[in-house]
Structure 1
Amino acid sequence: MIAEKQSFNRNLIVGILLAASFVTLLNQTLIIIAIPPIMSDFQINASQAQWLTTAFMLTNGILIPVTAFLIEKFSSKHLLIAALSVFSLGTLIGAIAPSFSFLLVARVVQGMGAGIMMPLMQTVMLTLFPPEKRGSAMGMVGLVTGFAPAIGPTLAGFLIVHYSWRSLFYTVLPVALIVLVLALFLMKNVTEQKQVKIDLVSVIFSTFGWGGLLYGFSIAGTAGWMSGQALGSIGVGVVALVIFITRQLKLKQPMLEFRVFNSPMFMITTILSVFVFAIMVGTQTLLPIYAQDVASFTALESGLMLLPGALIMGFMSPVTGKIFDKFGGKWLSVSGFSFITIALVLYANLSLDASLVWIAGIFAIMMNGVSMIMMPLMTAGINALPPHLIPHGTAMNNTIRMVGGSIGTATLISVMSHASLNTFLQEPKQAAMEGIQNAFMLASVLGVLGLLLAFRIKSKSGKAVKK
């Protein structure tokens, strides 16, 4: 079944999609700042509280691979309405949650809506624009993905100081409902529907595969790589994923098409996307630890420290998108990884008395590099695929990036923790400083590897591979 023939305002649809993505991304950054007061209200420890982020990420990781099927099966309008409705329901449950268990359920429900949202938005954006204009279009996506995390920590800090953590959910809910109403009346279907059937066996193995890996690597950074939980979860994930991939290659209508990796350009850009996402998430995890545990900055100062870099990423993304459309992704990626590597080397040499301005300045350099890579790389990879593989390409890219980010963050945290615990230094701050330096040294190696691999990107995308 082909998408219904109807005229539509492309800019209006883009605006609705970007607004929907903005509210889901803003929600992710708000909850991190709210964890301490939530722990106090519900009398829970840090290990229990971290499930508020882990459960959200796990639900995302399980849902994203299924979105390729959903986008082919259902209209983009109905799917967007469903995603926003589910997300709004989760937000409402979170606002009125009488216990931690209800709050955890709320995060899972929110994760279901958000897990559908991002791949859907990217697929529709890539469908609306021809290959030669996709860089600029995805640059607008980068503006949203940079701006939402930029204001999130500062907004959350303000709301929590003056109100309660529930105000975060009450702030997000009306915005989500407004976007939902706009989608109901103004969104049009722009994707092509197919007569596809869901393979429940694939869904089960996908859930245990991606979910197992994400959970295992998420807890490895704190519980330890040799812990039974981490090893068992990763082991289950690997086995399930092998069965899942084998099954997808045999099915006539796979849930997730792994043949997208037949494209060398898609393969390279996906690997590099994992590198840059792991570095970005890892750095955003390490810096607040350094700021609050080592440099004794406040939580609000920690949020403000990341603000300039996030804003730079947001404002630069449309610029780098236009550069990509004109010149391709090779030299953008080379330049971007150069900036990132320089920033990581500087972070590896941080001192105990580094100023807030210095840390923020280095982060701004790094995020400028990320803006040159994140969306241009994804666009370059998708441009190398035929139109019918775009939903699978976006779902695959998002899934691999999420798993890679989880692995990268867990690795950096474990390196930091191991160095901190095994140092002979008696001063706790100095020990923590050494652990953070070692983690950034490892991240620097990843930056260099990314820089070397970036030279293998073609200046202009090659022809799309056939299925």
Structure 2
Amino acid sequence: MNTSLENQSPGHKVSAKTRFSIVAVAFVAFLGILAETSLNVTFPTLEKTFGLPLGTVQWVTTAYLLVVALVMPTSSYISQRFQDRTLFFSALAFFTIGDLLSLISPNFTILMMGRLIQGIGTGIAIPLMFNLVLTKIPRERVGVWMGFAGMILSIAPALGPTYGGLLTGTIGWRMIFALILIIPVFVFPLGAWAIEQAPKKSSNKFDFVAFSFLSIAMTSALLALDALTNPKMAAIWFIIFALSLAAFIWRCKTSDLQFLDIEIFKSPTFTLSVLVYCLLQFANLGINFIIPNFLQISLGTSSTLAGFALLPGSLIGSASQGPIGALYDRKGAKGILLSGNVIFFVALVLLTIFTKNLTLVSLMALYILFTIGRSAGFATTMTNSLAQLSPQKAAAGNAWFTTGSQFAASAGTATASLIATKADNLTTGTQHVFILFLGITVVNFIFYSLILNKKIN
């Protein structure tokens, strides 16, 4: 497909090295997301292996997503400060070392260390992939290559639970990390050949103080969520979160050093759009956590089938991105956002009402409905918001969307785990999680009505 497009405009061909450099980085980003989602179906097995409760085991995903969220805000600085080759090899090295540690981990602590190191690699690779597209591809070809990058990020979470469930149910959960190691062997020489040295234009200093305050705020927020059953500890973590968030805002307002632009939140449309986007990601990762565990623990389904249960919905959600984008170009955002949230709402109403009567097949069907509704709102919310920003603000807006979504993903997993494990049984806990997400759809209706209100735009 790309070749035929290029032949139509000989003056704007994309070189083979440019194409394969993007492919090499895309493979690392793909591995990062695959590693994230494939472990969701292993939690019952990890509970037995390490003798730990679900609330502790889920941190292998929650902490991983938190690290990705913390690394991503640095992407603007490191892309200007370091060579693309350096960033590629760093991402690949972090991911591979973390994967090896996870593979050989004799205890849960080493497994967590491996996951945290993997998260650094993923946090570098995903922004680098998009940066290569935006800086190396001619404007006439950016749409095609951005679509390719988006496809990579959509396919990985679709395959992750099936991949993890199949291996866990047959040859063991450690093979999730073992088989992944095959790809870096081929990606390393590909990247070494394709990614060329290029001079960096900027030597701006990075605002490590603001970064530190934001890191403390994000981490303490998750720890406050995890400690809700202990009011005193939760209060302490919440105070730390509030103080560090206030310090972060103060630093951003008073510092001339480079980091995230908070002035962009003066736009009500942008602020509400980021909130909706994060709520959708919160629900998405939360439900991707709870469904495989519900199927295995409450319904007695094998890990293979539990992982497969998410595959049809994930693939349909990925495939719907193109038609949804085309519909947005023709009709605008309003119809897509409202109809998507209606579908999202209906899916969660049915999941909530029939939780105790769900079967594998009915859960798969409702997850397809859930994913279609979520996909309609997810991409359109971000596209509609960024389209209303100036070119100078669009990059800052994109940074907030990516950082916020990763943090929301980790919070969604942690919250779903907390609610599910504190109920009398996992079936009741799963129903409570569905009720929470149903409430999010109602909140999103309110936010969408404000976003689409021209008076605040």
TM-score, scaled relative to structure 2: 0.84
Q: Output one character per residue of 1:222-277: Cα deviation in whole Å (capped at 9) or x when no partner.
A: xx354444332232122112101211121223321112223444323211101211
* 1:321 match: 325
Following the alignment from structure 1 to structure 2, what is the Cα–Cα distance between the partners of residues 272 and 191? 39
Following the alignment from structure 2 to structure 1, what is the Cα–Cα distance between the partners of residues 229 and 393? 36
Following the alignment from structure 1 to structure 2, what is the Cα–Cα distance between the partners of residues 135 and 367? 24
Contact 1:139 1:317 in 2 (8 A): no
Following the alignment from structure 1 to structure 2, what is the Cα–Cα distance between the partners of residues 228 and 191? 52
* 1:283 match: 287
* 2:175 match: 167
2:100 to 82, 92, 98: 92
2:67 to 56, 59, 63: 59
2:303 to 285, 299, 306: 299
Q: Please report how far the alpha carbon of residue 178 of structure 1 lies from its aligned counterpart in structure 2 after TM superposition.
A: 2.5
Q: Please report how far the alpha carbon of residue 344 of structure 1 lies from its aligned counterpart in structure 2 after TM superposition.
A: 0.7
* 2:385 match: 381
Following the alignment from structure 1 to structure 2, what is the Cα–Cα distance between the partners of residues 191 and 451? 47
- Bigger mean CA deviation after superposition, 353-362 or 188-197: 188-197
Contact 1:213 1:233 in 2 (8 A): yes
1:338 to 342, 350, 354: 342
Alpha-carbon spacing, 1:342–1:411, altered in 2? closer, same or farther (3 Å) = same
Following the alignment from structure 1 to structure 2, what is the Cα–Cα distance between the partners of residues 344 and 457? 23
1:453 aligns with 2:447: yes
Aligned partner letter, 1:283: I
* Secondary structure in 1 matching 2:204: coil
Contact 2:169 2:303 in 1 (8 A): no
* 2:354 match: 350
* Secondary structure in 1 matching 2:444: helix
Contact 1:263 1:384 in 2 (8 A): no
Alpha-carbon spacing, 1:70–1:231, altered in 2? closer, same or farther (3 Å) = farther
Aligned partner letter, 1:198: F
1:238 to 207, 218, 242: 242
In the alignment of these two chains, the number of paired residues is 443
- Bigger mean CA deviation after superposition, 227-236 or 189-198: 189-198
Contact 1:54 1:215 in 2 (8 A): no
Alpha-carbon spacing, 1:157–1:312, altered in 2? closer, same or farther (3 Å) = same
Contact 1:127 1:190 in 2 (8 A): no
Following the alignment from structure 1 to structure 2, what is the Cα–Cα distance between the partners of residues 332 and 381? 14
* 1:425 match: none
Following the alignment from structure 2 to structure 1, what is the Cα–Cα distance between the partners of residues 404 and 385? 13
Q: Output one character per residue of 1:427-465: Cα deviation in whole Å (capped at 9) or x when no partner.
A: x5xxx54443343233222112213432444699x99xx
Following the alignment from structure 2 to structure 1, what is the Cα–Cα distance between the partners of residues 67 and 318? 26
1:156 aligns with 2:164: yes
- Bigger mean CA deviation after superposition, 65-74 or 43-52: 43-52
* 2:315 match: 311
Aligned partner letter, 2:37: T
* 1:206 match: 214
Alpha-carbon spacing, 1:391–1:439, altered in 2? closer, same or farther (3 Å) = same
Q: Output one character per residue of 1:88-109: Cα deviation in whole Å (capped at 9) or x when no partner.
A: 2211222233444332221111
* 1:402 match: 406
1:120 aligns with 2:128: yes
Q: Please report how far the alpha carbon of residue 28 of structure 1 lies from its aligned counterpart in structure 2 after TM superposition.
A: 0.8
Aligned partner letter, 2:207: D
Alpha-carbon spacing, 1:321–1:132, altered in 2? closer, same or farther (3 Å) = farther
Alpha-carbon spacing, 1:225–1:137, altered in 2? closer, same or farther (3 Å) = farther
Following the alignment from structure 2 to structure 1, what is the Cα–Cα distance between the partners of residues 229 and 21? 45
* Secondary structure in 1 matching 2:23: helix
1:443 aligns with 2:443: no
Contact 1:134 1:379 in 2 (8 A): no
Aligned partner letter, 2:266: N
Following the alignment from structure 1 to structure 2, what is the Cα–Cα distance between the partners of residues 90 and 134? 32
Aligned partner letter, 1:403: F
Following the alignment from structure 1 to structure 2, what is the Cα–Cα distance between the partners of residues 19 and 400? 23
Following the alignment from structure 2 to structure 1, what is the Cα–Cα distance between the partners of residues 387 and 185? 34
Identity %: 26
* Secondary structure in 2 matching 1:352: helix
* Secondary structure in 1 matching 2:301: coil
Alpha-carbon spacing, 1:447–1:260, altered in 2? closer, same or farther (3 Å) = same
Alpha-carbon spacing, 1:189–1:374, altered in 2? closer, same or farther (3 Å) = farther
Q: Please report how far the alpha carbon of residue 309 of structure 1 lies from its aligned counterpart in structure 2 after TM superposition.
A: 0.6
Contact 2:294 2:430 in 1 (8 A): yes
Alpha-carbon spacing, 1:321–1:187, altered in 2? closer, same or farther (3 Å) = farther
Q: Please report how far the alpha carbon of residue 25 of structure 1 lies from its aligned counterpart in structure 2 after TM superposition.
A: 0.6
- Bigger mean CA deviation after superposition, 53-62 or 40-49: 40-49
Following the alignment from structure 2 to structure 1, what is the Cα–Cα distance between the partners of residues 224 and 256? 31
Query: RMSD of aligned C-alpha atoms?
Result: 3.4
Alpha-carbon spacing, 1:8–1:131, altered in 2? closer, same or farther (3 Å) = closer
* 1:24 match: 32
Q: Please report how far the alpha carbon of residue 403 of structure 1 lies from its aligned counterpart in structure 2 after TM superposition.
A: 3.1
Following the alignment from structure 1 to structure 2, what is the Cα–Cα distance between the partners of residues 192 and 261? 30
Q: Please report how far the alpha carbon of residue 112 of structure 1 lies from its aligned counterpart in structure 2 after TM superposition.
A: 0.9
- Bigger mean CA deviation after superposition, 134-143 or 99-108: 134-143
Q: Please report how far the alpha carbon of residue 386 of structure 1 lies from its aligned counterpart in structure 2 after TM superposition.
A: 4.1
2:266 to 262, 265, 269: 262
Q: Please report how far the alpha carbon of residue 175 of structure 1 lies from its aligned counterpart in structure 2 after TM superposition.
A: 1.1
* Secondary structure in 1 matching 2:356: coil
Following the alignment from structure 1 to structure 2, what is the Cα–Cα distance between the partners of residues 296 and 17? 39
TM-score, scaled relative to structure 1: 0.83
Aligned partner letter, 1:276: L
Q: Please report how far the alpha carbon of residue 34 of structure 1 lies from its aligned counterpart in structure 2 after TM superposition.
A: 3.6
Following the alignment from structure 2 to structure 1, what is the Cα–Cα distance between the partners of residues 125 and 390? 22
- Bigger mean CA deviation after superposition, 360-369 or 392-401: 392-401
Alpha-carbon spacing, 1:405–1:95, altered in 2? closer, same or farther (3 Å) = closer
